[in-house]
Amino acid sequence: MTTINLEKPALKALRNQYGETLVALGAENPNIVVLDADLACSTQTQKFADQYPERFFNQGISEQDLINTAAGLSTTGKIPFCSTFAIFAAGKGWDQIRNTVCYSGLNVKICPTHSGLSLGEDGASHQSIEDIALMRVIPGMTVIVPSDAVETDRVIRWAAEYYGPVYVRLVRPNCPVIHDEATYQLDAAMPHRIRVEREGTDISLVATGETVYHALLAAERLQADHGIQAEVLNCVFIKPFDTETLVNSARKTGKVITVESHQILGGLAGVVCEELSTHQPTAVRRLGTQDRFGQSGTGEALFKEYGIDWESIYNEALRWLKG
């Protein structure tokens, strides 16, 4: 259960934590190597490059080479982490990810940053709101979307230990820290278990990534204003997916709202509806980009425009429960 003060949380960028964790892993394991597509300062892999220049490879603006070189390194026993912006990794590198990495089951970690609407002013051409769908459809790919810096550290460390293709979706801006650094751990027996960040009985708010904070804040306000007990589920792993925890929550509340900075087609909403339709038919309302491209604007303004900020979640839940 989350116990962090949601009104005044500490802030830290997931990409900064990613860079710091890579440096720590580099000291622990000499087989860790890092590759980037000429964006090391933005993705924060520059931190690793500064510490271990002999284990860092700038592939230039060539995402296909980035993925294929990482694949080749993995066949020699190296554990490659490769980064660029999500729109380029999932889009330009998709063929190589599918046919070279996943088809061969290679031990490559793809960890792009600058995903989703919070990328902001860079606009539609750079806002990757399709990458979860593109990655989860590939056989053998693990898809992870951490919600804060603490969770980012843990999933990157897990990815380094796990053998196989992994996609970790990171964002650009500072994000609220919602987990306790001292106590947070992934479930050892089932790392992909959904985290129940807040228990409730009236409605299930199922979120992933940076929208988890907004779901938690909405749940807190729903209780304070109306006595509504919203359960908040944090889907760290999109694939493999923890159907059991989702079904238990849906069975208890009977109403589910999904929230994601991504298209509702093929993303979190897709997997939630797929699993519930099979195991626990439940009414679902989906918050995310509704078959629209992004646009230029601040991350805060875009979250409001596309209905995934805490106020939109709050209002959607209230309309459903009171209407």
Q: How far apart are CA 133 and CA 168, in angstroms?
A: 13
Q: Are 246 and 276 in contact (CB under 8 A)?
A: yes
Q: Which amino acid is at 94?
A: W
Which among 7, 20, 54, 63 is annotated as catalytic?
63
Residue 77, φ and ψ in degrees, nearest 5? 100, 0
Q: Which amino acid is at 12?
A: K
Q: How far apart are CA 162 and CA 107, in angstroms?
A: 8
Q: Which amino acid is at 312?
A: S
Q: Are 71 and 104 in contact (CB under 8 A)?
A: yes
Let me know if 140 is exposed, middle or buried by CB neighbors in 10 A (0-12, 13-18, 19+): middle
Q: Which two tokens stand for residue 154?
A: 């843990």
Q: Are 258 and 286 in contact (CB under 8 A)?
A: yes
Q: Are 44 and 19 in contact (CB under 8 A)?
A: yes
Question: Has 316 been annotated as catalytic?
Answer: no
Rg (CA), the chain: 19
Instruction: Tell me which residues are annotated as active site.
Output: 63
